[in-house]
Amino acid sequence: MADEKKVGAYICSGCGIGDRLNMKQLEMTATRDGKAKVCKTHDFLCSKAGVQMIQDDIDNDGVNQLAIAACSRRAKVEAFNFSDVSQTRINLREGVIWARPEGDEHTETTQEMADDYVRMGCHEVKAMTVPTGSDEQPLVKSVLVVGGGITGLTAAVESFKTGYSVTLVEKSGALGGMAGDLYKRVPTRAPYAEPEETGVAELIEAVNAADGISVHLNTTVTKTAGAPGRFEIDLSTESGSTETTTVGAIVQASGMKAYDANQLPEFAYGKNADVVTNVELEALAKAANGGSMKRPSDGKEIKSVTFIQCAGQRSEKEGHLSYCSGFCCNTSIKQAMYFKESNPNADTTILFTDLRTPGAGGEDFYRSGQKKGILFSKGEVSEVVPSAEGLEVKFNDLILGEETSMQADLVVLATGQVPNSGPDPYAAVPTKEEKEAAEASNTVEISVESILNLDYRQGTDLPHLSNGFTDSHFICFPYETRRTGIYSAGPVRRPMDTLQAQDDAMGAALKAIQSAENAGQGRAAHPRSGDLSYPLFRKEGCTQCKRCTVECPFGAINEDERGFPQFNESRCRRCGTCMGACPVRVISFDNYSVDTVGNQIKNVDIPDEFDEKPRILVLACENDAYPALDMGAKNGYHYSQWARVIPVRCLGSVNTVWLTDALSEGYDGVVLMGCQKGDDYQCHFVKGSEMATMRMSKIADTLQQLNLEEERVSTYEVAITDIQRAPQLINDMADTIEKIGMSPFKF
Amino acid sequence: MSELNIAMVEKYRNSFLHEVEANVEEGDWVKMCMQCGVCSGSCPLGSHWEHSPQKLFMMIRAGKREEVLSSDSMWMCTSCYNCVVRCPREVPITHIMHGLASYAKRLGLVPKGQQTAKFAQHFWDNLVKKGRVNELKLGLNLYFMNGFAEGVKTSLKMKDIGLGMLKTKRMSPMEIFGGHKVKDLDGFQAMVKKAQEIETARIEKNMNA
C-alpha cells in the first residue's frame, strides 16, 4: 500500500479563507482536476484536531501525498510536519485572499486564483517522492585545522572540548603564528586600560596536553579529496613523507601575511633603519621586554616615536591595500603604551586621518592612551625624511589645515593585513594580450601556493570574495565559505585582531562540527539546513556537457574520466543550480524537480484569448522574493489577479524548459525574482541568481522563435525587505501585457 | 612681554600642552579631546570665532603658544554650555575657555581693546567691591566703557528700558550711592584675596619648579 501514491488534499477555511472563497468549489477542483483521492475541509487545520485529521488519514487511509491548502509554506511549519509522506503547501492565505482586495468585483478572479493553486499543488505533490537522505558518508567526529596560529589553536582547543578529535597542521616548525610573536596584545577585558598577555603560550600548552589533538609541524596539506564526513587528507612533511587521514570537516586558519612595506618608499621604509612596521616593532618590544627600546640604527634610547596610521592602506594607490585592516589603530595605541611603560615622558604621537577603535573596550583603551599622554593628531603624512636629530615626519595637519612636520627618533608604520589564502578558483584567467604584456614588462609572476590542494573540479582552494579574503556574505552567512564543510577563520577571512580571531575560531569550529554531524545524517548544511533531498542523476540521458560541474556554486560536482558528473552529496547545498543548468533535464531531487514545477505550470487554467484573462507566471526565490510577497500581502500590498506564483529553491534552479513550456502554453508573461547578484551578492547560493540571469539573457532567442515580445519575460533582484516593490513588479508585468496584448498561444 | 610670560616660555619650552595642563583651569582635559568637532558645530557663536574650541585644542597640542594665548576666541565664549553638554568625551570646554582667558590675562597676552576682556574686568571690580553686582553701576560702566560720547548715545538708546526697570522696581536709583552688599564684606574680600594668593602661588611654583 505504501508504494501506491495516494493524494490527500486538505483545505483550511480558517483565517478568513472560508469567507472569501467557495470551499465547495475548491474541494471539487481538488478531487476532479487535482485527482485527490481524499479531500477534506477543516475550519482550523493547524489546530490539534486538524493535524490529527490528516495524521489519521496517513495512518489509516494510506494517504502519502499531502496537498495542504492553507497559509503560506512559511507559516505553521511545526504544525504541518508529517514524516514519511510527500507534502506541499498551497498558499491560499498570503498568496490569494491577502494578495487580493475584497469586493464582489474581485470574487470571480480570486476564486480562479485559488482553484489554480489547488490544482497546481495536487499535481506538484504527485511528482514528489519522500527523500531519504544521503548515506554516502558516515559520521566522522574529527576536524582538520590548517594553521597553528592563535586562530588555529583556538579552533583546535574548542573542537576538542566538544569531544571531536583534531588534526592540527602547521607549515612552520612551531605553533603560535603571528600572535605568538607579539609582546602583548590589546586588552580583552575591563577596564581595557593596559596591554595584556597574548595567552598564546597557554593555548599551545592546552593543545599539547590534549590527547585528542595531533599536532603536525613542518607539514602541509598536499591533497584534500572527498566531501564533509569523508574528507581524505594527505599530510606531507618537509622531509617528504606523506600520511593520509580522514576527517569530517575542515577549519582553514591560514592567517595573514604582513603587508610588504617596501611599497612605501615615501615613508623611507627600507631606506632608514629607524622606520619600522607595526609587526617589526613587536620584535623590538619583545627584545626590550619592558625595558627601554633602542633605536635600530644606532642603539640610542628612543625618546620620541611617531606612528603613521593607515600606512599603505585605505588607499587606491598602486600596491596599497584598499581596505581598512581594523586592528591597527588599537595596535598603535598599544605600542605607544610600550614606550610609556618604560618612560612616561617619552613623546608618542599617533598621526591618523580617522581613528577607529573597534571592540567592546576600544573606546576605553583609546581614552586610557590619552590619559597616559599619547598625543593624537589628525594629519595626513606625506613624507618621512632623515634629519639631524633622527627623522622628520612631514604631514598636513587636517584640523589646522597646514603643512607641518615633527621630529622623531623612530617612525612606526601601521601597516595592514594581507590574507594568506590559496589561489582563487574563480580568478579571471589572464587574456593572451595580458600575458604577453606581463612577459614584455618582465614582471615576475608570484605564484600563490595552494593551502588545501582540493581535489575538486573547481580549483584547489576556497573562493575569494574580495581582496583575496575567503569570506562569504558577512551579514547573512558570516561563517560560510563557498565549499561546504570547509570553514575559514581568522584574518584569512577578513582583517581582524586576535580577540576577533579567537571568536571567529570558535564559530568556525562549531560550524565545522555541525557540518560533520549533518553529513553523518545525510542532511544538508546551511542554508537548507536539514534538507534530506540531494541531486539525483539519470546517467543514461547525460550528454557530458559539463554545465552542472561548471555552474555548481559550491564545486560539489566532480567529473569522472569520461566526463560524467560525480555528485558529492555532502558538499551539495541543494540549491538546484545543476538542475537548472542541465539542458537534457536528467538532474532532479526527490521533492523538487523539473516535473514538480512543470506540473504546476501545466495545471494552471489558461482561459482563451477572448476572455481577456491573462496569466503571469512568477518564479520567486523561496529565500527572499517569496517571503517578500507573503509579507507584502500581509501588509495589504496586493498584486495582479493574473499572477500565479511558484516558489523555487533558488533562481539558479530555474530550468529554461519551464519558461518555454509556459510561453508556448499561453502564459502572457513571466516574472523571475531572485536575490541580488554580483560582488555584494545576497543570493543564498552565491552564484544561483547570477547563473539564472545569464541564462535568461539568452531566452531572447527562444522568444524570437516563438514570435513573442521580449518584454514578456523579466528578471529582477528582490530583497526580503522589498514588500512593496515585489508586488509592484508583478503589477508592472500586468500593465505591460495590457499594453502589448495577450499571448497568441492560447488554445 | 610680561616677566611671567618670559619665564613660562623658558619653563615649558617643549610642551605648551604641559604648560596648559599645569596652569590652566581644567587644562588637564585638553589631551582627552578626540577631535570630533562637535563643540565647534554646537557653538552658537562658532562662526564668529577665529579659532573653534576644536582648533584651539589642536593648536595647544601642536605647541602654538602665542597664537593660542593671544587669540580672542576664548574671550568670545558666552558660557552657554552647549559644547559641554554635547562633548562625547565630557570635556569641560567652557571652563577651559575661561581658564585659557584667565591665564592669558595673567601673562599679559590679551589682545588690545578686547571688549569682553574689558567688560570682564569691570564686572570683576564691581563684584569684588561689595560682594554683590551693582547693576546700575555695571550698566553705566558698560555704556561708558569706550568713551563719553558713546556712553551718552547708548544711555539715550536704553533709557526706556531703564525707566521701565525703575518703574517696576527692578533697578533702584539709590544704588548709585554705594549699593547693597554681602553680609560679611570683609570676610568675602579676605576669601577672594586668599584664593588669588593660592592661585598665584601655584603658578609661581610651576614657573620656578
Taking only the tens place, the pLDDT of each residue in A534-584 is 999 999 999 999 999 999 999 999 999 998 999 999 999 999 999 999 999
Mark which residues 131-150 of B lie under 8 Å from A by CB: none
Which among A352, B156, A505, A400 has a CA at the least distance from the CA of A513?
Answer: A505
State the fold for domain A606-747: Rossmann fold (3.40.50)
Q: Is B31 on the interface with A (CB under 8 A)?
A: yes
C-alpha cell at B123: 564686572
Q: What pLDDT does A440 receive?
A: 63
Average pLDDT over residues A198-223: 96
Nearest CB to B32 within list A367, A400, A404: A367
- Clarify whether residues B19 and B107 are in a common domain: yes
Whether residues B31 and A399 touch (CB distance < 8 A) is answered with no
Whether residues B62 and A355 touch (CB distance < 8 A) is answered with no
- Clarify whether residues B77 and B140 are in a common domain: no
- Clarify whether residues B81 and B180 are in a common domain: no
* Total number of domains constituting chain B: 2
Which among A699, A633, A709 has a CA at the least distance from the CA of A661?
Answer: A699
Domain assignment of residue B97, yes or no: yes
pLDDT 10s digits, B23-65: 999 999 999 999 999 999 999 988 888 899 999 999 999 999 9
- Clarify whether residues B52 and B131 are in a common domain: no
State the fold for domain A142-255+420-427+447-520: FAD/NAD(P)-binding domain (3.50.50)
- Clarify whether residues B21 and B50 are in a common domain: yes
Residue A499's identity, in one-letter code, is: L
State the fold for domain A259-418: FAD/NAD(P)-binding domain (3.50.50)
Do the Cβ atoms of A502 and A153 come closer than 8 Å?
no
Q: Is B91 on the interface with A (CB under 8 A)?
A: no
C-alpha cell at A49: 484536531
Alpha helices, DSSP H only, in A328-382? 328-342, 362-371
DSSP string computed for A184-195: SB---STT--S-
Q: Is A365 on the interface with B (CB under 8 A)?
A: no
What is the C-alpha separation between A260 and A678, in angstroms, rounded?
30
Q: Is B13 on the interface with A (CB under 8 A)?
A: no
Whether residues B34 and A399 touch (CB distance < 8 A) is answered with no
Residue A444: pLDDT over 60: no
Nearest CB to A397 within list B31, B54, B62: B62
Q: What pLDDT does A240 receive?
A: 87
pLDDT 10s digits, A110-138: 999 999 999 999 999 999 999 988 888 89
Mean pLDDT for all residues in chain A: 93
Q: Compute φ and ψ for A658, nearest 5 degrees.
A: -65, -40
Q: What pLDDT does A586 receive?
A: 96
Neighbour tally for A703: CB within 10 Å = 18
Q: Is A344 on the interface with B (CB under 8 A)?
A: no
Which regions of chain B are under pLDDT 70? 1, 13-14
Domain assignment of residue B208, yes or no: no
Percent of residues, chain A, with pLDDT higher than 90: 84
Q: Is A378 on the interface with B (CB under 8 A)?
A: yes
Which runs of E-coded beta strand occur in A238-337? 242-247, 249-252, 256-258, 275-277, 304-308
pLDDT 10s digits, A222-248: 999 999 999 999 999 988 899 999 999
Would you say domain A1-130 falls under CATH 3.40.50?
yes
- Clarify whether residues B71 and B142 are in a common domain: no
Residue ranges making up the domain that contains B34: 3-111
Q: Are strands A142-146 and A347-352 parallel, antiparallel or unpaired?
A: unpaired
C-alpha cell at A38: 481524499
Whether residues B58 and A371 touch (CB distance < 8 A) is answered with no
Domain assignment of residue B206, yes or no: no
Q: What count of residues does chain A have?
A: 747
Whether residues B31 and A397 touch (CB distance < 8 A) is answered with no
Average pLDDT over residues A724-734: 97
Q: Is A401 on the interface with B (CB under 8 A)?
A: no
Whether residues B58 and A373 touch (CB distance < 8 A) is answered with no
- Count CB pairs under 8 A between chains A and B: 31
Alpha helices, DSSP H only, in A635-724? 656-665, 688-697, 699-705
- Clarify whether residues B83 and B123 are in a common domain: no
Residue A678: pLDDT over 90: no
Two domains, one topology: A142-255+420-427+447-520 and A606-747: no
Distance (Å) from the alpha carbon of B2 to chain A's nearest alpha carbon: 28
Neighbour tally for A625: CB within 10 Å = 30
Whether residues A373 and B35 touch (CB distance < 8 A) is answered with no
- Clarify whether residues B17 and B90 are in a common domain: yes
Which among A69, A74, A72 has a CA at the least distance from the CA of A114?
Answer: A69
What is the C-alpha separation between A570 and A708, in angstroms, rounded?
42
Nearest CB to A400 within list B17, B31, B58: B58
What ipTM goes with this model? 0.86
Nearest CB to B59 within list A355, A367, A400: A400
Q: Is A469 on the interface with B (CB under 8 A)?
A: no
